[in-house]
Amino acid sequence: MAKVTLKDVATAAGVGAATVERALNGRGNVLPETAEKIFIAAKRLGYRTPPAGIRHGLVRIEVVLLRPETYFYSRLNRAFERIAALLDKDIQIQRTFAREDDPADFSRHIANPQARRSALIVVAPDHPDVVGSIRKVAGGGIPVVQIMTRPALELPYVGIDNEAAGRTAAFYMARMQSNISGTFVALCHSGAYENHKARIRGFSNYLLDHANPSHRFVEVMFDEDDEMKTIELLTNAFARYPDIIGLYSAGGDNAAIATVLRRYRQRPVFWVGHELSDATRGYLKEGLMTIVLDQAPEVQARRAIDLTLKRLGLIDTDVDLEPVRFLTVTPESL
């Protein structure tokens, strides 16, 4: 196989050989967009480039996440941080935290980032302005990967099958209590995220498809992951439905739920929730929680980066496009 030359890289990038030489050797006077194009062309062709230190952050992948104070997003953020440390220094992963309660600001950031980006990985609320901005970015030729939730169905997605997760929660709850009569309720952040809506949809659909006359699914409560609101909603639900035997929490405010369930220990409740953490491990051991469905954020982060690098042309490895497998955790499997 013929050796790849500087001229080959220049032809692939659509620039002159002198520009390629300046870009790859960090001599300046090359636009960032052009330098990125040259670097990607060199990688695709297998051209041996100089050490990466002189071209730090030539390819910039922005990852837009939410709520760094929460356990799940902290875990996802750390996963991206670890991956970034292992990548070529030419490739920078920039993690940004956006405000989910301000869709206008969120969509402005997506459409007009403060720094140039080569690709975008985003946890996106299902809001028309945000989704419109994401589609505009993708339409402009920037690779976009949705992670965790998929409001734009036509764009690539990395995450679990959330509807299957909801159906799995209902499967265990109904089958393991088939001889017990009572009511099921569910808690969810809001209607802002497609992943939460899909979980509730799957939960409800399973119960409809496998109707048991001794079970009633009566209510979905939206708590916006607010501790006081969760406590109030769930306490009122216990007052309205004295026969609650099943609770599915599709969101993440597990601490508030545990607070309420401790008050009602005389009423055994089959509780299925999401995300394995130190707290949920404790609830499983305590007997408050029955099953945890963990969506393996470390796997999601790795696959999202691999898919992005693939779409940028920086790796040739095939990337699994199937949903990430979620884990079913019980007290016995800890």
- In a shared domain, residues 226 and 171: yes
- Residue 305: name the closest of 162, 156, 164, 193 by CA: 156
- In a shared domain, residues 189 and 284: yes
- In a shared domain, residues 124 and 79: yes
Q: Which residue has the higher pLDDT, 210 or 16?
A: 210
- In a shared domain, residues 182 and 198: yes
- Mean pLDDT, residues 195-215 taken together: 96
- Mean pLDDT, residues 305-324 taken together: 92
Query: Is residue 229 situated within a structural domain?
Result: yes
What are 53's two structure tokens? 């230190």
Query: Is residue 14 situated within a structural domain?
Result: yes
5-19, 160-174, 197-211, 273-287: which has the minimum mean pLDDT?
5-19
Q: Could you read off the pLDDT of 89-131 as tens digits, one per residue?
A: 788 999 999 988 899 999 999 999 988 899 999 999 999 999 9
Residue 315 has pLDDT above 90, yes or no: no
- Residue 254: name the closest of 271, 237, 232, 233 by CA: 271
- In a shared domain, residues 275 and 187: yes
- Here the CATH number for the domain that contains residue 106 is 3.40.50.2300
Query: Is residue 51 situated within a structural domain?
Result: no
Q: Could you read off the pLDDT of 147-179 as tens digits, one per residue?
A: 999 999 999 999 999 999 999 999 999 999 999
- Mean pLDDT, residues 66-79 taken together: 91
10-14, 72-76, 266-270: which has the minimum mean pLDDT?
10-14
* Tally of structural domains, the chain: 3
> What pairs with residue 210 in β-bridges?
none
- In a shared domain, residues 184 and 302: no
- In a shared domain, residues 10 and 30: yes
What are 258's two structure tokens? 């545990």
The C-alpha atoms of residue 224 and residue 233 are separated, in whole angstroms, by: 11
What are 155's two structure tokens? 């764009």
Parent domain of 11: 4-43
Query: Is residue 68 situated within a structural domain?
Result: yes
The C-alpha atoms of residue 157 and residue 146 are separated, in whole angstroms, by: 5
- In a shared domain, residues 61 and 133: yes
Residue 234 has pLDDT above 80, yes or no: yes
- In a shared domain, residues 176 and 268: yes
Q: Are 174 and 210 in contact (CB under 8 A)?
A: yes
Query: Is residue 283 situated within a structural domain?
Result: yes
pLDDT at position 2, please? 66
- In a shared domain, residues 259 and 111: no
Q: How confident is the model at residue 50 (pLDDT cuts 50, 70, 90)?
A: low
Query: Is residue 237 situated within a structural domain?
Result: yes
- In a shared domain, residues 167 and 275: yes
Query: Is residue 240 situated within a structural domain?
Result: yes
Query: Is residue 331 situated within a structural domain?
Result: no
The C-alpha atoms of residue 222 and residue 245 are separated, in whole angstroms, by: 19
- In a shared domain, residues 205 and 240: yes
Distances (CA, A) of 94 to 35, 56, 86, 182: 18, 13, 14, 49
Q: Are 52 and 86 in contact (CB under 8 A)?
A: no
Residue 187 has pLDDT above 70, yes or no: yes
